[in-house]
Structure 1
Amino acid sequence: MNNRKPFLFSAIIISFLFISFTPHKRIESRNNTSAISIKKTTRKNYIENPYYIIISKKDYELKVYDDQGWYATYPCVFGSNDLRDKYMEGDKRTPDGKFKVVLKKIHPQWGYELLLDYPNEQSIEKFKERKAEGIIPRNAKIGGGIAIHATRPQEEWTVDYYQNWTDGCVSLKYTEAKDLYSYIPVGTPVTINE
């Protein structure tokens, strides 16, 4: 009996190590109505945030990457049909540049929201240059409150039909914004390209 205890203990340790270091299972699914592609991992606990987001305005896509590469793609819409960089408050354009998520909250109208650090130093510098060059009026303000957020639950169709409706934010379908919100932490880097 005594010589079986070390064998049982070794079997338990080997099983634990096998489960801990087995490659994470990836699941891919496609939803044809929204052209969403999601790749999920079973991994839950990270020491550091592995995510970063790249948004392409010309492709109407928000892509999430993690430390293993591409993670998920969500269709999205923006403010104005003019997809150039945001110049000033009120132009309804979505800004280009590198940002980060600074706050997660539930908005009373469109729910899940990831607030970005717009305007940041890069945005302020571009704004000042454009003002100095006379591209925008001297009394213009830079604006703020740019976020990645959901549509209203009954208005997911705006994403299906590429209806840019925000004041400069990035908008995902309500259900897909809920999914993004569930795993993206504060501090996640976000790049928005034209």
Structure 2
Amino acid sequence: MKLKRLFLAIMALIILTVVLRVIFLPKPPVQVLEAAREKISQAEKQKAGAYATRQLQQATAHYDSAMTGWTQQNRRFLLLRNFKTVEQHAQKAAQIAEQAANTASQAAKKALNAYLHRLASVENQLRQFDTQFKHLPLGKEEVKLLASSKLVQQELNNALAQDNLEALEKRLDKLEKDTRQLSERAKKLVAELEQEIPQWNRLVNQAIEESKRKGTALLVVEKYERKCTIYKAGKAVASYKVELGANWMGDKLKAGDKTTPEGHYKVVRKKKNGQTRYYKALLLDYPNEEDKKRFKQNKANGLIPANASIGNLIEIHGDGGKGIDWTDGCIALENKDMDKIFDAVVENTPVVIVGALTVPGKGK
């Protein structure tokens, strides 16, 4: 009887132990796992894959270990399951993922500031073409490159507004390369102009002194500045906008090169009343003896074809105001300005045409 009671007591104890074990059975850390998954998702949204790669990989590895451990524990006998390691991996995953999100956020801000600085630099270079370099005779390739660069610039500003750093990164490198190429080309052209400036200044100053000494009129055309200035007795009295040959840079080499010549000329004929197709015109003495000498030397040096001709009929004429360089080498003004210049000069009035008197963009 005593043995039976002892047996029943032992069985009751075993049953109680099992019941208590079931009641207090370790539960899988579902909430901790969900929190870890959410932290990793937030880190990914902060682009940790790009800016905190190693941390994100570590967080993901801990999460994967937690999930693997959970699967392994579920395969064990109910009373032998232990989710402590699973919970530790999940907690570690959440902790590292949060760090990755913070790291990525800071890195993204730093990258954005760098992109903003680079984009501002590019925009500044493009603005130079709208101010300092806009008059330069760029080739077809450069003109196309400038147009496409401005289009990409707008696309990048749109990407910036949408916080699309990936698009910024992909297009900004090419835009920087293109604008550098444009800037180098423009600076080379400006440098070519700059080398001639002292000589051009001497030529203009001599003409002004002669105008002052003789009390006569003088016209000075500055090609880069696109202006024609009237001098009377050595004093500038008015300046007007002009348009030039489509390929105005440098001195005229031959007929058909669409370049406005440079040098000291004079008005040989005043045309009006149907004598010219350009409203009114002042015919210049191009080619003069200096032009002919240079043309002959250029042919001898092989700089121009042997069958090339020197050209003629270079005029200052009306029908300008188109906003572009369009002539075959002449100098065009709006008709109202042509009237004033026409009335200010007589035949044999000196006309000095130079590339520039100051370094473009730097002033006097």
- State whether residues 49 and 185 of structure 1, in contact with CA within 8 Å, keep that contact through their aligned partners in structure 2: no
In structure 2, C-alpha distance between the alignment counterparts of 1:78 and 1:53, rounded to whole Å: 15
Match of 2:223 among 41, 51, 57: 57
From 28, 49, 67, the counterpart of 2:233:
67
Distance (whole Å) between structure 2 residues aligned to residue 66 and residue 93 of structure 1: 28
Pair 1:148 & 2:316 matched: yes
Q: 1:130 is matched with which residue?
A: 298
Q: 1:178 to 1:91 in 2, by over 3 A?
A: same
- Secondary structure of the residue aligned to 1:111 is coil
Tell me how far apart the structure 1 counterparts of residues 241 and 339 of structure 2 sit (CA, whole Å): 14
Which whole-Å deviations, capped at 9, do the CAs of 1:19-43 have from their partners, x for residues lacking one? Answer: xxxxxxxxxxxxxxxxxxxxxxxxx
| One-letter amino acid matched to 1:135 | L
Q: Within 5 Å, give how 1:8-157 maps onto structure 2.
A: 50-106=216-272, 107-151=275-319, 156-157=320-321
Deviations 1:31-81 (A, max 9, x none): xxxxxxxxxxxxxxxxx7610111110110101111151111011011124
What is the distance in 1 between the residues matched to 2:339 and 2:215?
A: 19
TM-score scaled to structure 1, two decimals?
0.69
Query: Match for 1:164 among 319, 325, 335?
Result: 325
Moved more, 141-150 or 107-116: 107-116
List per-residue Cα deviations over 1:86-132 (Å, max 9, x = no partner): 10001110001100000001244311100000000011011111111
| 2: CA distance, partners of 1:133 / 1:60 | 31
Kept in 2, the 8 Å contact 1:104–1:115? The answer is: yes
Counterpart secondary structure, 2:280: strand
Higher relative contact order (CA 8 A, sep 6+): 1
CA distance in 1, matches of 2:294, 2:234: 33
Aligned partner of residue 281 in structure 2, secondary structure: strand
Partner Cα separation in structure 2 for residue 53 and residue 100 of structure 1:
9
Q: Aligned-residue CA RMSD in angstroms?
A: 1.4
Q: Provide the C-alpha distance between the structure 2 equivalents of 1:114 and 1:157, rounded to a whole number of angstroms.
A: 17
Distance 1:188 1:108 in 2: 19
Of structures 1 and 2, the larger Rg is shown by 2
Label 1:125 to 1:181 Cα distance change in 2 as closer, same or farther (>3 A).
same
Which amino acid is 2:266 matched to? K
TM-score normalised according to structure 2 size? 0.37
Partner of 1:55: helix, strand, or coil?
A: strand
CA contact (8 A) 1:64 1:71 kept: yes
Q: Does 1:184 align with 2:350?
A: no
- Once structures 1 and 2 are overlaid, which stretch shifts more, 179-188 or 48-57? 48-57
Runs (5+) with no aligned partner, structure 1: 1-47
CA separation of 1:75/1:139 partners in 2, compared to 1, >3 Å: closer, same or farther?
Answer: same
CA-to-aligned-CA distance 1:117-159 (integer Å, 9 cap, x gap): 00000110111111111110011000000010001xxxx441x
Aligned equivalents of 1:59, 1:121: Cα separation in 2: 27
8 Å Cα contact 1:49-1:188 kept in structure 2? no
Identity %: 36
Residues 95/108 of structure 1: CA separation in 2 closer, same or farther (3 Å cut): closer
Instruction: Give me the whole-angstrom Cα distance separating, in 2, the residues matched to 1:136 and 1:68.
Output: 38
Structure 2 stretches lacking a partner, 5+ long: 1-213, 356-364
